[in-house]
Structure 1
Amino acid sequence: PYYMALDYAPEFRAKRIVHRIEELDKATVEDMLSIHSERTSIPASVYVPHVLNLSNLNPLQAQAQRILRNWTYKMDPDSAAAAVYSAFRWKLHLKVIGSLLGVLADQALVSGGRGAPTHINHLAIRLIEGLENEDCSLLPDGETWDTTIAQAFAEGVEYLRETIGKDPEEWGWGKLHYTNPTHTLSEIFSNHKDLLNPPSVPMGGDGDTPQAGSFAMSNPFIMTGMSVARYVFDPSDWDNSRWIVPLGSSGHPGSSHYSDQTDLWSKVQAIKMAYTPKAVQEISVGKQKLIPLVK
């Protein structure tokens, strides 16, 4: 009954975090790190049972459906099921949300930033609610959830065949879902882009899981939203805390620490965070001195 805001996120990520915390007794650093890698998708648990009810499938679609049958809804980077689900849902959004937006669809579906994508995300939440309540009011005229899901699934499977190959066992989520960091100057100094651009890495998760990995409708499934830092703090022993960033501790492309954390970050691992003077001194490999400019 009270107005709060128009800019909000759905509950899916928070619910999974709360669920994981409630399972713990005496949480360890490792326990909390594992929550950073939580990849269970609540929306997938709503959509996939309906995909499993589809019939009259061609052989490739039937094989993709079988892959979903024993899936636990975890958006792991090596999961073919996660790729099938994501391609299906992307095609579903294009069809239904595109219809809802009408003449604005072409512009909205390729927009970046927080404007149109925010409205699209809000509509995506409504679609999940509509499916759960068997409400077809958001669907294109004459469509039912059965016909809409069947078409989106067929188009998603065809997209995967064209993009990755005709063997569904090879359809890993990480082959579609990866980072693509681009240095601001790499376009100007194209001869040095291999030095300037940090490495691309496959990732799990998506926009609905605690391990964040959202992407734009206009450029699926290249990641545009992710954790820029992960922390686990141990108040009983601060030197036992952990941290990790997507690239490294240096912003200099020539530094060995420019992107030396990327591989660990992609695997949702972490490094020790030194707090006490002794711990800092023990792991230090260099010093930087800031000298004031004297006029």
Structure 2
Amino acid sequence: YSAADALGVLKLMAFSLASNWDSELVRLKILTEDGPEALTALDPLYPDWLLVTEPPAVQAGPALDRLAEDLALFTATVGQGGGSNNWALAPSRTATGRPILANDPHLAPTLPPHWYLAHIRTPEWAVAGASFVGAPGFPVGHNGVAAWGVTAGLVDNTDLFIEEIGSDGASVRQGDRFIPCEVVEETIPVKGSEPVQERVLITPRGPIIGPAMEGEVGAVSMQATWLPPRPLRGLFVLHKVRSFEAFRRAFEQWPGLSLNVVYADTASTIGWQLIGEVPRRRKGWGLLPLPGWDPEVGWEEAPLPFEEVPHLANPETGFIATANNKPIQDGEGPWLGADWIDGYRLTRIVEALQARDDWDLADTMALQMDQHSLPWREMRDLVLGVPAETEEARQALELLRAWDGVVAADSPAAAVYEGFVAEMARRIVEAKAPRAARWALGHGFTPIAPHTLFGVRRVGHLVRLLREQPEGWFERPWPQEVADALTAAVRRLREQGGADPEQWAWGRLRPLTLRHAVGERAPLDRIFNLGPFPWGGDANTVAQAASLPADPTGNPPFIASLRMVVDVGNWEASRFVLPGGQSGNPLSPHYDDQLPLWQRGEGVPIAWSPEAVEQATRQVLELLPRG
């Protein structure tokens, strides 16, 4: 294992957590398969009534129509031919008078977990928290003075370009001529088979990736801030920071994945820094793949200056929160992108944080488990007011009318709601883009990223359409379509759970399984996998357990891969938990010993002081240099 391997892991994370390259491909598929009207109708703009990070507790407001500009550029040149929460509380908001920092990154439900809990101490520095397996550093943790946690920032740091390859197979069009590309021959060893040879063309914009994508996307190149070899500091030096300013300066050199990093320290400072380089585009807004041969497209050589990247310290609200949401209002700062996750989780977190000023660790951990559905609150009156002309629709409305809006594992009404949302999302998409529907509903382009954000961003779009009910979308009026979707949802629940609604509990029909790569085949699944077990929540609840419209009862693609709550200054009281355990060996008692705690919303301490470490020690492994 070498530094190159660690950099490879970081670049793979940047690729899989980038918010926009796959969204560009989805837009391209909708545009080429179903036309510009379908794309305009189905593009899930960030809901203007939901919140941004900065200023805290402020609505996003109207979005600028950047898509229309990129559509015009595309059609003029080419013609027509497709998670996580964190927050920091200031002492004014806590019962202890110390800051509290919380974080729960959302990743796939895999075993062993993505994270490894650790405490490292040297004569010069110490750090405790969660390291990301395969890379040095602690993206989540504390150093005895400051604490920090991360969520995906989703800044648009990656663009795709449509390329025209020359007849020699080794050149691309640039303006009115063809220029040679760098050609790299990659040899990929395959266990038990012959090595695979891949010929990669590297254009002036970046490598051509089209052949690696599902869906016949053509010759498409990728330009990304994280692809070129550049100096990296950022997460690798946080164990040494002692102030928010030093924390910020660490990320001046971070051409890696885009992240929201929240901060709190023993001087009572709380802060937020959006990290990762932001490109400056010469033309267009990065929402659609543009023609690479157009000399006016592409990026300026230098990225956005670090001082212009949003950050915040000690707001008057007494808290800072992020949840993969739109960070700032359009027009209030630099252009950062358009493909944010709907701000329902952020809005629910802010709603809870600003309601009280006596937060403690137990209540903060309870908020990480919150399963209230804000989208249902917004659509409730609209849905309950539709005519019920079938027995199934009447039963659906009866259950929903009595529902408290909590997407609990034992709730039949939650299953009705989730089935209805998936059914309406599918109908809305298929009415406008029947050919590209699978892409618009979140189907991905590669096994590395099997789902796109379009799938989890359909709910805000649904709420907007239910409010506006634009004419001509369906052959019949919206209320009748909604009633028919309720009927279809109940019929599907009866097929899955029987006639008795008590058997429709959301967690029973949509359980959670933590899957190991070796457990993909029987009978090894019974040894390596954990579950299935009932689990609540969805993509828009604080307790993340996404349900995709194309497969609403499938295994959740994203969950809290780690939870951390830090009592800043009282380090021994802080709590951490993984969905599984520290070990990757299913025969080890530490393979799954944290799972019950994770299910209950509890955690374990990481001993900090030398005395606490000595008291907690059960075994010692001494590593000595060879020879």
Q: TM-score if structure 1 supplies the norm length?
A: 0.88
- Is the contact made by 2:456 and 2:546 (CA closer than 8 Å) also made in structure 1? no
Partner of 2:409: 77
Distance 2:396 2:370 in 1: 24
**One-letter code aligned to 1:161:** R
1:62 maps to what in 2? Answer: 394
CA distance in 1, matches of 2:469, 2:390: 26
Residue 528 of structure 2 corresponds to residue 193 of structure 1: no
Superposed, 1:261-280 pairs within 5 Å as 261-280=594-613
Partner of 1:219: 551
Partner of 1:228: 561
Contact kept, 8 Å, 1:90 with 1:217, in 2: the verdict is yes
Quote the Cα distance in structure 1 between the aligned partners of 2:563 and 2:533.
Answer: 17
Query: Across the two proteins, how many residue pairs are aligned to each other?
Result: 291
Is 1:27 matched up with 2:27? no
| Runs of at least 5 residues in structure 2 that lack an aligned partner in the other structure | 1-329
How many Å apart are 1:237 and its aligned residue? 1.6
Fraction of identical pairs, as percent = 27
Specify the code of the residue in structure 2 equivalent to 1:282: Q
For residue 42 of structure 1, what is the amino acid of its counterpart? L
Q: Residue type matched to 1:133 in 2? A: E
Decide which structure has the larger Cα Rg and report it. Answer: 2
Q: What runs of 5+ residues in structure 1 fail to find an aligned partner?
A: none
Q: Name the residue aligned to 2:325.
A: none
Matched position secondary structure for 1:215:
coil
Cα distance in 1 between the residues matched to 2:510 and 2:596: 15
**Structure 2 residue corresponding to 1:162, chosen from 495, 498, 508:** 495
Distance 1:136 1:270, change over 3 A: farther
Q: Structure 1 CA distance, aligned partners of 2:380 and 2:371?
A: 16
Aligned residue for 1:43?
A: 375
Deviations along 1:80-107, one digit per CA (max 9) or x if unpaired, are 1111100111111111112222211245
Distance in 1 (CA, whole Å) between partners of 2:509 and 2:609 is 42
Matched with 2:463 is: 128
Q: Deviation of residue 133 (structure 1)?
A: 3.0
Is residue 258 from structure 1 mapped to residue 614 from structure 2 by the alignment? no
Aligned to 1:177, which of 510, 513, 521? 510
RMSD across aligned positions (CA): 2.4
**CA distance in structure 1 between the partners assigned to 2:624 and 2:533 by the alignment:** 37
Q: Any residues of structure 2 matched to 1:136-147 within 5 Å, and which? A: 136=471, 139-140=473-474, 142-147=475-480
Partner of 2:620: 287
Q: Residue 4 of structure 1 corresponds to which residue in structure 2?
A: 336
8 Å contact kept, 1:205–1:213: yes
User: Structure 1 residues 105-114 or 214-223, which shifts more?
Assistant: 105-114
Deviations for 1:107-143, whole angstroms, at most 9, x for unmatched residues? 5547236687323444442221122234346x33x23
Tell me how far apart the structure 2 counterparts of residues 50 and 248 of structure 1 sit (CA, whole Å).
44
Between stretches 54-63 and 266-275, larger displacement belongs to: 54-63
Contact 1:75 1:82 (8 Å CA) reproduced: yes
Verify the 8 A CA contact 2:387 2:480 in the aligned structure 1.
no
Residues 1:183 and 1:290: Cα distance change in structure 2 (over 3 Å)? farther
User: TM-score, structure 2 length as denominator?
Assistant: 0.44
CA distance in 2 between partners of 1:290 and 1:111 (Å): 46
1:210 is aligned to 2:531:
no
CA distance in 1, matches of 2:470, 2:622: 64
Amino acid at match of 2:412: A
Given that 1:97 and 1:120 are in contact with CA atoms closer than 8 Å, whether structure 2 keeps it comes out as: no
The one-letter code matched in structure 2 to 1:135 is: P
Contact 2:576 2:603 in 1 (8 A): yes
The answer as to 2:482 corresponding to 1:149 is: yes
